[in-house]
Chain A
Amino acid sequence: MKPAPFSYSRAETLDDAFRIFAAADGEAKYLAGGQTLGPMLNLRLTQPDALIDIARVAELRRAEERPSSIVLGAAVRHAEIEDGLVPDASNGLMRRTARGLAYRAVRNRGTLGGSLAHADPVAEWPNVLTALNAVILLRSIDGMRSVPIREFLIGYLTTGLEPGEILVGVEIPRPARSQRAGISKLCRKAGEFAHSLAVTVIQDSQPARCVLGCAASTPILLTRVGALVASVSAWNADMRSDIRAALEEDLREAGVEPDPFEARTHAATVSRSIMEALSA
């Protein structure tokens, strides 16, 4: 389990990175925290000719507070979110999420942008940021563009990133003080990949955003479940069967056919995320 040969260069600035990318022979890949790319290289599942390390690019390490949003740089690490070292636009949801994400050793190196660019539907950030209605900020040599996260996540491990383009940050709308959220994840042991993951974000006067991961190639926005949640003000155990029915409808519409085990576990995480949000 050692990688095939590749060249390695570290970019100090984004322009640096674009320049190295353009000059690279063969296939080039950007490297951030390396917590997914590293193992994939070692297993030789990917064999790029060149790696361009962008983990220390200052522009990617920044967090910016705007009047109606917060922008987190792509190279912000999970541990920095967990430790509250960057501003929060989720009333604590992102910190809670980061705390349960993989292991601390992974969180020390793994980055927000790396996770989004990898676009694994079982990972936390694609689902949580879908629930938070985030916007993905992309830059290439041609300039900047921003894409709503649901358009950015195209499929399993597939995004709207163009060749050479870099995911530079995530813009998260500032929440109302009343915004409440819940997350529920099932993974067989601490730190492992989830096999069901649900996030619920409730904001007054808007439909709740319930998102289910692990069920399809991208996070699923559960609109019927969201509408159901918006219609109540407090958790009530009797909601479970309604949630389950709404979830079944949402999944059917998404073209997902869960087996009985998946149906049961997804119903559990969705209900629990809603319970947590309503009880917050």
Chain B
Amino acid sequence: MRTQEAGVDSTPGARRSDKGVGAALQRKEDKRHLFGRGQFTCDLRFPNLHDVAFLRSPIAHGRIVRIDVPEAVRKQVILAADLKGAQAIRAVTDAPGFKAADYPLLAFDKVLFVGQPIALCIGRTRAEAEDIAQQIEVEFEELPAVVDMLAALEPSSPLLHDSWGDNLYLAREFEAGDIEQAREAATVVIEREYRLNRQAGVPMEGRAALAFWDERLDELVFYNSTQMPHQVRYALSLHLDLEERQIHVIAPDVGGGFGIKNIVYPEEIAVAAVARHLRYPLRWIEDRREHLLSSIHCRDTLYNVKAYADVNGRVLGLDVEVRVDAGAYATWPNGPNMELGMAIKNVPGPYRISAYRARGWTVATNKSPIGPYRGVARPGACFCIERTIDEIARAVGREPHKVRMENMVTPDLMPYRSVTSMLYDNGDYPQSVEKAVDLLDLPAVRERQARGEPDGRLIGIGFASYTEQTAHGCGEWITRGVPIIPGYESATARLLSDGSLHLLVGIQSHGQGLETTLAQVAHQELGIDFDRISVRHGDSSLCPFGMGTFASRSMVMSGGAVAKACRILKGRIQAVAAQMLQCAPNEVEVRNDRAFGPNGDVSLREVGQVAYVRQEGLPRDGSPTLDVNATYSPAIDTGVFCYSTHGVVVAVDPDTGYVEILDYAVVEDCGTIVNPLIVDGQIVGGVAQGIGNALYEEIPYDEHGQPLATTLADYLLPGSTEVPEIKIAHMCTPAEHTEYGMKGMGEGGAISPPAAIANAVRDALAGLGAELCETPITPRRVLQAIHIAENRNGVSGGES
């Protein structure tokens, strides 16, 4: 991995420090994880802990006629009717026309997808719980499964939710500019259908919940592998008859989330609902099969695009239809509608497009519900526009990267209001393309391509760019119609009596390294030894309320809250130190764990002593303790846009359809970088998932609604041998409206790979006239594309 200059020096207000903002520090988290001493939910030990296994629906669609539970195990089996004081999940969004449907914690009348939980079975071990589940017999009256989202919209289709009258969650339309005029003016029209198939999130740690009633505190303790412990507390109070004061949610170490754990699931609420009435702790640890069956799925989107361009490849207009196969239910909190809204918003990408029409439908089918997964809709939107830009370039006979650059928003137009009303704040989009072209040495690749490979493989190069809205605030979320508006974060900065620092944050870190980067921010503000700072998160009773980690928001939002709290705390430290140093507070400088006045200095330990245990040393009007709470929202609601261009060189084997990635480059600009190691790690991890999306991961369903990839033997994930070394180059345009100029960047790595790889495969197969418009790009799909091209062109092939 190659990292170029991180550019923090150019950041206004951020002074260079070896442990502050911009420092390439190893993570505080690494030690426990590398020694295998992390504490994930399944590592927790409690006396008399019992395990849960769920009996799940084996069919896609049917009525439950009868459930037979053998008398011997009846007490260990919880059916829907046994759940007391628990509500079905109802995700209601403000999106106009959105149809809601209750998602029962346990199915009782109908089942709507394979894997839907029907019974909660309790055993002393998971194996025993599965033995019990195996003894339950369920009689179904099978109904025809709704599997294909296009057929689902036919009037003759069977219905999932009878009261709806159709299978449509919601429809959306958007139009700006004159699309008819663009059509008439166009010399080039590109018409394509793109499909991103259904996949799963597959974090290293699956879902997990452990619950018990604490008699002393009269509260439910709920350990949960989640990205958002405070939202989980809120959700449990909505779905159980408990007050929030009686709910204590703890997210211990969490092994990845990617959006999958940004949902509160029926299984989790059911475990809480049952455990609160028991005298022993209950836990449910999801296994891989359950994950692939019943965790939210993602992608599964169909794009139909008509693009109009002039003779140079300048895009005049885009007319797009988007269809999202959203599965059987709306999950809490946001339901399935974000996918469509974000798809429509993001198709125009980093380009100057003046005429844009989009129509979209979110469709219910008998499959697991979909939800947010790293990139949310944008890998599809990026695929749609970036594949199309390449086709336009081919149609006008130009290098795609040139057409790409010429259509892009240029720095002189910033801030730029996109055709879908997103406010691109700053940056140099075309330069990111240019740098990616350089990193891959395009002329050398073209030369190699022309020379031909000794093994007969075909070389191709492809690029894909995006601009990603991150850390968006209240106003943006309101436009999405979501029920919870995550426009802020909060932090408590607490200097203790020995001069060490606690940061209590509402954010949750599950691989993002926030225990490190938030300490860097505190060090930046207070000059306190990095090793004397502890970041505490993931505990609804210990930490101030926060929304959690998703939407590439945490560093900007929580970093902003920490910076703000630390600055207020610094004022408090200055006030106490000023009294001790007999000077004015504004004369006190805080650095290197000390407070310096004009005539001397004191250690923060001494300041802490006074603040906590020697009240007589405080200023007359000063209050004891050094404990500050702050909330932070960025100065603009519309988000700050990180942007990136990915480039990839592939070799495609026309005999087998295999695609090998030979070279991969990422050029990105996320503004001020807090920790370059973590940023690069996020990029590489995102690209790995994007490669999975592009080449490997897929859950197909048969015509009966049976999922065909329910173990990792069938669901292929990229491993270390499938992920090449990634070349990374950074640009740095600090954001103007956030603390330090930071932008979010966590999701970005996963956005471009499907488009970039498909463009590279397209480039490789150009001579055969074949192209790939669907992910994952499996050997079978590659050979099918070649086969179709051969039949069209006669066996000799050739670009038409």
Contact = CB atoms under 8 A, between A and B. Distances in A.
Interface string A13-57: 000000000000000000000000001000110000000000000
B780 A4 contact: no
Contacts of B787: 260-261, 264
Interface string A221-245: 0000000000000000000000000
A5, A44, A192, A193 interface centre (most CB from chain B within 10 Å): A192
A268 B655 contact: yes
Contacts of A44: 130, 134
Given A186-B656, A261-B780, A4 B716 contact: no
Contact of B779 (A1, A188, A193): A188
B721 A190 contact: yes
B10 interface: no
B545 interface: no
A4, A190, A191, A260 interface centre (most CB from chain B within 10 Å): A260
A271 B721 CA distance: 25
A177 interface: no
B711 interface: yes
Nearest to A260: B787
A118 to B, nearest CB: 14
5 contacts: A189-B696, A191-B719, A260-B783, A260-B787, A264-B656
A2 interface: yes
A195 B783 CA distance: 14
A3, A44, A261 interface centre (most CB from chain B within 10 Å): A261
B288, B655, B696, B778 interface centre (most CB from chain A within 10 Å): B655
B290 to A, nearest CB: 8
A146 interface: no
A190 B719 contact: yes
Contact of B719 (A43, A189, A265): A189
B130 A186 contact: no
B172 interface: no
Interface string B760-800: 00000000000000000011100110010000000000000
B175 interface: no
B434 interface: no
B778 A188 contact: yes
Contacts of A188: 696, 716, 778-779
A194 to B, nearest CB: 12
A43 B127 contact: no
A4 B719 contact: no
Given A43-B711, A186-B658, A190-B721, A264 B783 contact: yes
Interface string B122-142: 000111001100100000000
Contact of B722 (A2, A3, A189, A195): A189
Contacts of A265: 655-657, 779, 783
Nearest to B455: A272
B124 to A, nearest CB: 12
Interface in B561-619: none
Contact of A4 (B125, B134, B784): B134
A63 B656 CA distance: 38
A5 B127 CA distance: 8
B713 interface: yes
Contacts of A1: 287-289
Interface residues of A, number: 23
A238 to B, nearest CB: 14
B289 A43 contact: yes
B349 to A, nearest CB: 30
A37 B116 CA distance: 27
Given A44-B134, A189-B722, A193-B713, A261 B657 contact: yes
Nearest to A269: B656
B722 A4 contact: no
Interface string A248-267: 00000000000011001101
B784 to A, nearest CB: 7
B718 interface: yes
Contacts of A190: 719, 721-722
Contacts of B779: 186, 188, 195, 261, 265
A271 B127 CA distance: 48
Nearest to A188: B716
Nearest to A193: B713
Chain B, interface residues (CB within 8 Å), range: 20 to 34
A189 B721 contact: yes
Contacts of A192: 713, 716
B131 A5 contact: yes
A50 to B, nearest CB: 17
A2 B289 CA distance: 11
A42 B322 CA distance: 40
Interface string A58-78: 000000000000000000000
Contacts of A271: 655
A4 B131 CA distance: 6
A264 B785 CA distance: 13
Given A44-B134, A268-B655, A268-B656, A2 B778 contact: no
A188 to B, nearest CB: 6
B710 to A, nearest CB: 9
Interface string A189-222: 1111101000000000000000000000000000
A31 B126 CA distance: 23
B761 to A, nearest CB: 15
Contacts of A43: 289, 711
A2 B130 contact: yes
Interface in A170-193: 186, 188-193
A275 to B, nearest CB: 11
A64 B131 CA distance: 44
A267 B722 CA distance: 25
A265 B716 CA distance: 19
A245 to B, nearest CB: 16
Which 7 pairs across A and B sit closest by C-beta, in order of nearness?
A2-B127, A268-B655, A190-B721, A1-B287, A261-B780, A268-B656, A261-B783
Nearest to A237: B456
A191 B780 CA distance: 19
B718 A3 contact: no
A140 to B, nearest CB: 32
Contacts of A191: 719
A203 to B, nearest CB: 27
Nearest to A47: B134
A195 B657 CA distance: 12
A264 B289 contact: no
Interface string B144-158: 000000000000000
A184 B288 CA distance: 31
A268 B456 CA distance: 12
A193 B718 CA distance: 14
A1, A39, A192 interface centre (most CB from chain B within 10 Å): A1
A136 to B, nearest CB: 26
Contacts of A267: 655
A39 B783 CA distance: 32
Given A44-B134, A188-B778, A261-B787, 13 more contacts: A2-B125, A4-B134, A43-B711, A186-B656, A186-B779, A189-B719, A190-B721, A195-B779, A260-B784, A260-B787, A264-B655, A265-B655, A268-B655
A265 B781 CA distance: 12
A4 B696 CA distance: 32
Contact of B126 (A2, A39, A260): A2
Nearest to A191: B719
B123 to A, nearest CB: 10
B131, B721, B779, B787 interface centre (most CB from chain A within 10 Å): B779
A207 to B, nearest CB: 25
A188 B653 CA distance: 13
Contacts of B653: 268
B216 to A, nearest CB: 34
Interface string A77-99: 00000000000000000000000
Interface string B694-728: 00100000000000000101001011011000000
A235 B658 CA distance: 23
Nearest to A2: B127
Nearest to A264: B783
